[in-house]
Amino acid sequence: MGAFSRGFSEARMRFRTIITREYFRKWFLLSVIIGIVAGASAIAFYEMLRMATKTFLIDLAGYYPPAPAGEGEPFFKFPDMPYLIPIVTTIGGLISGLLVYLFAPEAEGHGTDAAIDAFHNKRGEIRTRVPFVKMIASAITIGSGGSAGREGPIALTSAGVASIVGKFFRLTDRDRRIAVAVGIGSGIGAIFKAPFGGAILAAEILYLHDFEVEALVPSFVASVVAYSLFGTVYGWQPIFEGGGQYVFTNPVSLIFYGFLGVLCGLMGIVYVKSFYGAKAFFDGLKIPNVFKPAIGGAALGLIGMFVPHVLGTSYGWLQKVILGDFTAIPVILVFAIIFLKIIATSLTVGSGGSGGVFAPALVIGGMIGAATWLIFHSLGIVPEASPAPYVIIGMMSFFGGVGKVPIAVIIMVSEMTGSYNLIVPSMLSTAIAYVITGRHTIYISQVPTRSDSPAHMTEYAVPFLTRVKVADAMTKKLLTVSPDDPVIKAAEIMAKNEVRGLPVVKDGVLVGMITFSDVLRLSPEKRELTRVGEVMTRNVVTVCPDESLFEAFEKMVHYQVGRLPVVDSPKTRRLIGIITRGDIGRVYELRMSEAVSRET
């Protein structure tokens, strides 16, 4: 109960505190530091990924995957020895599994969810070794052909180094949580060359239907710093090219973009169910966890032998579709990759392999957009001569739905493609996909709103307790004494029932209170001779059943008492119940446990 009182009082103070200049001064410095370490982490991970890709896919398998325009040459080469692909993906999965499950099990899977979970449930604490294990394991998984992306690894890595920064500066739990969110956004903003979208993502990705507003300003600063550091090394060109020249000028086309949103929403549900279905399957296998990513890698490799387009991030193939280049990716394969990429990602990450789910989602959504354009174009009913607008909006819509980040993803993909002229159709399509996917999310650690997060539970105690009435929490089974009873009787009732005070009632009307302290002031022999009415407190503070728990708690704090009699009205003072700090605490704890159980 003491912890509840302290938490409640702290929440009440925060509830009434206006953000001052000191807040911004503190977070400006911390944001710069987090931005530097996030940018450096993005550079380190990017280099690890390039080295792993060259070692596994290029040198061992002879497969040179294409790169998007902003990250390399358009040159590509199909595998010289396709039969080596399953061997390479299996080895990559095995190494990743050994690294993760032996040194940092929380680094398994796509990473972003672990960072979100650290924010909500672990006070923003991420073990120091996790970022380093995550970087190495993810580089090997993706570099060996695993169907995964860079978002998850860099999100957990940047969140992890931000958590280290928080520990170094001895930040409070609340500030360390904000630092973790800032780390997520700045790392993603850097490695995807999307600083604005990354900053918004930091605040949006934590919830299904809410924002972590306090993370926005620090994220803007940190994301700019991280992006500037990354861009200084790798240049400022957007990752994808070919989308900047398209302008929305035809309202009729909204019909087709709306249809695309429907498809992305429906396929998003398939993606989420397939991913977590595969995860449940691998979780149920009665073998050591270290071998599961290898099994997933072997199954992925069998697909990659025939369709190498699904290996790695697949960003180069997405670039070709944006440019309308279907020479190396036939039209029929565009439709097939939608489903094969879902399966490949489920096998890679669902088996415990280390990698993100953002890149696969962009590829799947982009291919859905390309397929939509191909269908409508073959019927001669779309005015666009290139699939680029549909591919770009498909990327936004699909991940906006499954990731529950509609605003952030529109901005991010616009930055990644250099296309800011498709905002109107992207808003419509993404909103439709977001609504259709409903509560289906690829990030199961997301909670609906701030009030559902353990991170904000004490803050929301105040508005919650203002809505609950005393009548809903008071104890109706009354222990009372009469003013004519001997004090010894009151002492015996209090000792037997382990209470420290009793209402004194005459003819059903409250006339006073006697406490254990009142009893102790009398010697033992006087307790039998003295009447309760002689020692009781007559000026008793009371509450009415229609008052809120907040009002009752305020009275308890003000008058420094632990219990209050509940009377029907201040005039009649007829006793109908009693409420204690324990009663208020139990209602609050019950509400907290219900909120947590809804998310587990």
Angle of the 549-559 helix axis to the 581-599 helix axis, nearest 10 = 130
**pLDDT given for residue 388 in this prediction:** 92
Domain with 586 in it: 461-599
6 with 119, same domain? yes
CA distance 73 to 548: 67
**pLDDT given for residue 592 in this prediction:** 60
Q: Identify the sign of the CA torsion 407, 408, 412, 418.
A: positive
Ordered DSSP codes for 475-533: B-S---B-TTSBHHHHHHHHHHHT-SEEEEEETTEEEEEEEHHHHHTS-HHHHTTSBHH
**pLDDT given for residue 124 in this prediction:** 87
Count of domains in the chain? 2
Ordered DSSP codes for 1-17: -HHHHHHHHHHHHHHHP
The pLDDT averaged over each successive group of 10 residues in the chain (600 residues) is 51 47 78 95 95 94 92 83 95 95 85 88 88 93 94 91 91 90 95 95 92 90 96 94 78 92 97 95 93 96 96 94 91 96 96 92 96 92 85 96 94 91 93 95 89 70 75 87 93 88 91 90 89 91 90 85 89 91 79 53
Determine the distance from the C-alpha atom of residue 41 to the mean position of all C-alpha atoms in its chain, rounded to a whole number: 21
329 with 426, same domain? yes
Contact 415, 238 (CB under 8 A): yes
403 with 467, same domain? no
382 with 486, same domain? no
140 with 59, same domain? yes
Overall pTM > 0.85 = no
542 with 575, same domain? yes
CA distance 341 to 140: 19
CA distance 544 to 542: 7
C-alpha separations of 574 from 118, 481, 490, 544, 568 in Å: 50, 14, 20, 10, 6
**pLDDT given for residue 17 in this prediction:** 44
403 with 495, same domain? no
448 with 487, same domain? no
In DSSP terms, 509 is beta-bridged to: 506, 574
**pLDDT given for residue 5 in this prediction:** 53
Angle of the 423-437 helix axis to the 388-402 helix axis, nearest 10 = 40
Per DSSP (E only), the strands in 526-574 are: 563-567
Residue 134 corresponds to which amino acid?
A: K
61 with 119, same domain? yes
Task: Tell me the CATH number at 86.
Answer: 1.10.3080.10
Name the token pair of 339. 């489903």
Enumerate long-range contacts of 459-465, CB under 8 Å, 24 or more apart.
Answer: 459/11, 459/14, 459/15, 460/11, 461/7, 461/8, 461/11, 461/588, 462/8, 462/11, 462/12, 462/15, 462/550, 464/588, 464/591, 465/548, 465/549, 465/550, 465/553, 465/584, 465/587, 465/588
568 with 435, same domain? no
